[in-house]
Amino acid sequence: MNQKTVAKPVSIEGVGLHSGEKVRLTIKPAPENEGINFIRVDVNPSLKIPARIDHVLNYQRAPRRTAIARDGVEVHTIEHLMSAFYGLGIDNAYVELDGMEVPGLDGSTYPFVELIQSAGIEEQSAKKQEFAVRDPVYVDSGSGITIVALPYNGLKVSYTLSYPDTYLGTQYMSLEITPETFVEQVALGRTFCLEREAEELRKIGLGKGADYSNTLVICETGVKENTLRFEDEFVRHKILDLLGDLSLLGCGLKAHIVAIKSGHYVNIQLVEKLYRQKERAEQAALRAISEFDPRGQDVLEVTDIMKILPHRYPFLLVDRIIYMEEGKKAIGVKSVTMNEYFFVGHFPGRPVMPGVLIIEAMAQVGGVLMLSDPKHKGKIAYFMGINNVKFRKPVLPGDVLEIETEVLRVRSRTGQLQGIARVEDKVVAEAELMFAIVD
């Protein structure tokens, strides 16, 4: 899917749930790959704060809400608006605020959903960035509070809420998250608190803007001075909060999230772990970064190769793919010149192309072969191992290195290739390369 932003600026005013201060909020379109950014326009100069996990304010300084900060400037209670962006699939937007807290409105995310829908949603050219969980990620905060992210082809949330010996009791909901299910099943869930908690929250300076119109107050017999929208509205709001926190990963997420009694503090711990896993994957992988389809083309020039592989000078070691048989074989060429960066320090008196770079060039041709398959678009090819490496002859400036990779075997998630490098039809190196293909 492509990235999305709002079609035009839209504004809304309200009172912060915790600060009690009136604030005006304006959502504006943002360019591709910009992400969601909050802009405090009441400070001089105005300051942009990315809504990402690396800018989240310590929970001890912002309990019972999610807040972000940069250079000492803060924005609090962003989770309901972020949930609306995430649920509707908005990737890029600027959020201007003339105060430090997002307005609470009716305590749900639905007013923000209506605001975004009134602006219109505009599709952009760039592809949506997504991260697929490969290995389970788990947080246990004690007292039965746990959350885990499991591999899943989509986004699913299963949440268990448990307030024993209260009107809330135990509620459970499991839901596949799409824009439609989000609007219909999640967005209307309102924030809540127990009546016995309310006075304590006010004593520590929280809930100054909360009242019966924007917060469900739970007493021993039910909801005070309000009516539930759903019998299980409380667990729906917990899912709403969780989605807002997950959005701080900064991209779409493919996972099954199983949560038991989790709140912002534990949610953020999970996102931190997911972020580290995402960073490791990006640092270690070859990714198909575009929808470029090489089928039917006799030759792939270097600009085409860069649409498949993320490599750039000086790490792109393939000038051209001169033959491609889908799922079977690829042949690439590398013209070796005296201007190559590696000759500066590698035998400069008698320049020889390092053998490890010949293998790297071989791996890049193999990567093009593996990732050019349409069913592998957007997936990751991990270079897992090398066997039976042999170097036959040196490669010198002026040589044209021809690299052939051929599939030996491919399973659903792994592939093994035979690579042979030649100069003037003479073998200079050969190796078996192993890749793992993952989402």
207/189 Cα distance (integer angstroms): 18
Q: Which of 230-239, 316-325, 346-355, 366-375 has the lowest mean pLDDT?
A: 366-375
Contact predicate 419/403, CB 8 Å: yes
pLDDT at position 47: 96
Contact predicate 294/309, CB 8 Å: no
Among 76, 264, 311, 376, the active-site one is 264
Contact predicate 138/112, CB 8 Å: no
Binning pLDDT at 50, 70 and 90, where does residue 142 land? confident
pLDDT at position 389: 94
Kind plus residue range of the DSSP H or E element containing 175:
strand 169-176
Q: Is 346 a catalytic residue?
A: yes
- Checking if the pLDDT of 291 tops 90, the result is no
Beta bridge partners of 401: 334
- Checking if the pLDDT of 191 tops 80, the result is yes
- Checking if the pLDDT of 292 tops 70, the result is no
Q: List, in order, residues 6 or more apart from 127 with CB less than 8 Å away.
A: 1, 2, 3, 290, 291, 378
Kind plus residue range of the DSSP H or E element containing 400:
strand 400-410
Q: Is 264 a catalytic residue?
A: yes
pTM above 0.85, yes or no: no
Q: Which domains does the chain have, with CATH numbers?
A: 2-284 (3.30.230.20), 287-438 (3.10.129.10)
- Checking if the pLDDT of 346 tops 80, the result is no
> How are strands ordered across the β-sheet holding 36-40?
10-15, 22-29, 93-97, 36-40, 47-50
Beta bridge partners of 171: 161
Among 55, 311, 346, 376, the active-site one is 346
Q: Tell which residue, 270, 265, 250, 280, has the closest CA to residue 150.
A: 270
Contact predicate 239/159, CB 8 Å: yes
- Checking if the pLDDT of 371 tops 90, the result is no
DSSP per residue, 67-127: -EEETTEEEB--HHHHHHHHHHT--BEEEEESSSB-B-TTSSSHHHHHHHHHH-EEEEEEE
Task: Find the helix packing angle between 264-284 and 233-246, rounded to 10°.
Answer: 40
pLDDT tens column, 250-287: 999 999 999 999 999 999 999 999 999 888 776 655 54
Q: Tell which residue, 295, 3, 236, has the closest CA to residue 107.
A: 236
Distances (CA, A) of 263 to 15, 79, 267, 304, 376: 23, 11, 6, 46, 36
pLDDT at position 345: 79
- Show the tokens assigned to 406: 């051929």
* Average model confidence (pLDDT) across the chain: 90
More confident residue, 405 or 291: 405
- Checking if the pLDDT of 388 tops 60, the result is yes
Respond yes or no on whether the N-terminal peptide bond of residue 31 is cis (omega within 30° of 0): no
Phi/psi of residue 40, nearest 5 degrees: -80, 105
Contact predicate 131/246, CB 8 Å: no
* Per-range mean pLDDT, top range of 182-186, 301-305, 319-323: 182-186
Beta bridge partners of 257: 149, 157
426/418 Cα distance (integer angstroms): 16
